[in-house]
Amino acid sequence: MSDVKEIPAVWIGGGTCGGCSISALNTVAPSIKNVLIDEVVPGRHISLKFHTNISAGSGDAVIQAIEDTGQEHEGQFLLIVEGVVPTADGGVYCMVGERNGEPMPFYQWVVELGKKAMAVIALGTCASFGGIPGAKPNPTGVKSVMEIFKEEGISTPLINVPGCPPHPDWFVGTIAKLLLVGLPKEGDLDDLLRPKDFYGQLIHENCQRRAYFDEGKFAKKFGDPGCLYELGCKGPITYADCPIRQWNNGVNWCIRSGMGCQGCTQPEFPDFLGSFYEKLTDVDIPKIGEYWKNGRIERNA
């Protein structure tokens, strides 16, 4: 039997509801047991040193485990960040553990561990773009991991896996590809550092109600047949493979269940122009094939 290479991982949570963790724990193939105990890919195993929710220890012991991982495995461990990073008033709105008897701002953990990690995964829209806590007026001054890295000049490879919450496959698939082929190469990520494997196409491109859009048949109220664009669907500007992958082990997804896409994988979420139930305005709807405009079907030139 060949030797199995252990990849240390630290999963830290800041301003988070915990939904991203819950979603990841519900992964089906592989199961979370397979991810944590077995080899995710042949010859590679994730050794999770800390997780806010599932670590057996607590207090100083787990804080020491985080510190030790950063020191003993510098440049060799994977950092997973869940939740926003509050920065107002010195980061006092999110403290994680203590050092020398003083509370540690989550901001400081992200900076210190981010500099030492092999790669960083910002899991969920909060960590990727600011999400709900970063919505106006943003009183705690939350920022995304990407913003923190830019301000601090941190060059560690960063992968954003947004979603509120992200699909378990997006997270596990990102981990598996990292272990299988290494760090992302040119063209693997989009301009927002999202894996194109999962965020390479618009919801609009694969939506089961797309034909209604092309024909100009729009639902007037929820429950009606037709495209949900007039009822606030953000599918035409949202990148994710939800229509193909679906949720809850491939059972359903937002639009198929009768609700418009909320655009939760986008940096604009939730501060879109207008409410979740208002039609998108002042945005360019991508011209994909045929689309409806001013009462008639037009085609791309």
Which DSSP string corresponds to 215-259? HT-B-SSTTSSSBSGGGT--GGG-B--HHHH-BTTTTB-TTTTT-
Which position among 20, 73, 94, 167 bears the catalytic label?
Answer: 20
Sign of CA dihedral 198, 202, 205, 206: positive
Q: Encode pLDDT of 132-145 as tens digits.
A: 999 999 999 999 99
5-198 under CATH 3.40.50.700, yes or no: yes
For the question of residue 94 being annotated catalytic, the response is: no
Q: Which of 51, 73, 126, 167 is catalytic?
A: 126
Query: Is residue 191 a contact partner of residue 202, using CB atoms and an 8 Å limit?
Result: no
Strands (E), 116-213: 119-123, 142-143, 158-161
| Domain positions in the chain | 5-198, 201-301
Residue 209 in contact with residue 226, Cβ under 8 Å? yes
pLDDT for residue 88 is more than 60? yes
Residue 2 binned pLDDT confidence (cut-offs 50, 70, 90): low
Tell me the average pLDDT of the chain. Answer: 90
| Model pTM score | 0.91
- The active-site residue out of 73, 94, 167, 207 is 207
pLDDT of 283 = 66
**Residue 139 confidence (pLDDT):** 96
Residues forming a β-bridge with 12: 81
1, pLDDT greater than 60:
no
pLDDT at 103: 94
Q: Which residues contact 262 (CB under 8 A, 6 or more apart)?
A: 164, 234, 254, 269, 270, 276
The arrangement of secondary structure in 201-301, i.e. its CATH architecture, is Irregular (4.10)
**Catalytically annotated residue among 51, 73, 164, 167:** 164
Q: Is 167 an annotated catalytic residue?
A: no
Q: pLDDT band for position 282 (50/70/90)?
A: low
Torsion region of 141: left, alpha or beta (phi above 0 gives left; psi -120 to 50 gives alpha): left
Catalytic residue of the set 73, 94, 167, 227 = 227
pLDDT at 296 over 50: no
Q: In sequence order, what E strands does 102-239 have?
A: 102-105, 119-123, 142-143, 158-161
pLDDT of residue 268: 92
> What is the mean pLDDT of the segment spanning 196-211?
95
